[in-house]
Every structure is written in structure tokens, then in C-alpha cells.
Amino acid sequence: MIFSPDAKARLDICEACKHFRKTTRTCGTAIKGNKVGSKRLCGCFMDIKTTLKFATCPMSKWGALEMSKDDYLEIKELLSLTKDKISSEQQQAVRHYLEKYAGMRVKQSSCTPCVLNYLHKLKEIKVQYESNQGSSQG
């Protein structure tokens, strides 16, 4: 499952945030978002966004309730190191992050299509995180 058990706690933070628009229930201006200093609010519908494990707050108000930058950097490095082959330790790390951010239970496997599928899913999580970050920059 890609749904976060922290959704309610995140939404509580959003609903108390000055950037939360009560009428549209979005982070800033719906869809487009608006600039706040050098950052841009995401414009997301927070009832949905808060449920996604890999989602982030553009103003970093969710604290430990979102993917850490360290995890993102480790996932990024892991994907760059596993383009041609993957060690059992790297496979273990892939399984760890898929469980943490996609709620997937992944078994150790020597099946190449399975491993490629796991890497593909991890890459999707990385891309989604980057797209969330991109929406917060001006």
C-alpha cells in the first residue's frame, strides 16, 4: 500500500497551517499553488496528498511525517548503483524502502524481472518525491 498511516496527523498540521485554503482544502491556490518568499506552495488537494507515504510539505512542516532528505539521497544513490547489477545488500535496501514508502512486502529474489520491477517501483517513488519537491520551488 502506498497510503500513509500518518495521513490524519499530517492533515491536522495542514488544517492549522496559514497556507491551507479551507474552501478548496488545498495547499495555497488550488493546482497552481502560489509563491511564499522563494518557495511555491504545491496547490495539492490535501485530503488526498496527505495519504501518500512519499508526499512532502513544501514548507517542511510535516517533520518526521514525510520522507527524509537522507532517505531520498540514499534511494537516489541506490538506483544509480544498481543499473547493471545488484548485490544482496542492495536488494535488501530496495526491499526496505519499498516496504517503508510503498507498503510492499518484497521477498529476496533471484528472478531478474522481479528485481527489475522492484527497482522500477522504487524509481517511481523517487520521481514522485522529486516532483513534490519541484512544486515547492519558485
* Binding site residues, ligand SF4, CB under 6 A: 13-14, 17, 19-20, 27, 41, 46, 57-59, 61
What is the DSSP-derived secondary structure letter of residue 33? -
Which one, 32 or 123, has the nearer CB to ligand SF4? Answer: 32
Q: What is the smallest separation between the CB atom of 30 and ligand SF4, expressed in angstroms?
A: 12
Listed residue (72, 70, 93) closest to 82, CA to CA: 93
Q: How far is the CB of 73 from ligand SF4 (least distance, A)?
A: 21
Least Å distance, CB 102 to ligand SF4, is 21
CA 116 to chain centre: 20
Instruction: Tell me how far, at minimum, the Cβ of 4 lies from ligand SF4, in Å.
Output: 13
Bridge partners (DSSP) of residue 39 are 36, 137
Nearer to ligand SF4, 14 or 75 (CB): 14
| DSSP class per residue in 69-128 | HHHHHHHHHHHHHTSS---HHHHHHHHHHHHHHH---------HHHHHHHHHHHHHHHHH
**Which of residues 22 and 105 has its CB atom nearest to ligand SF4 in the complex?**
22
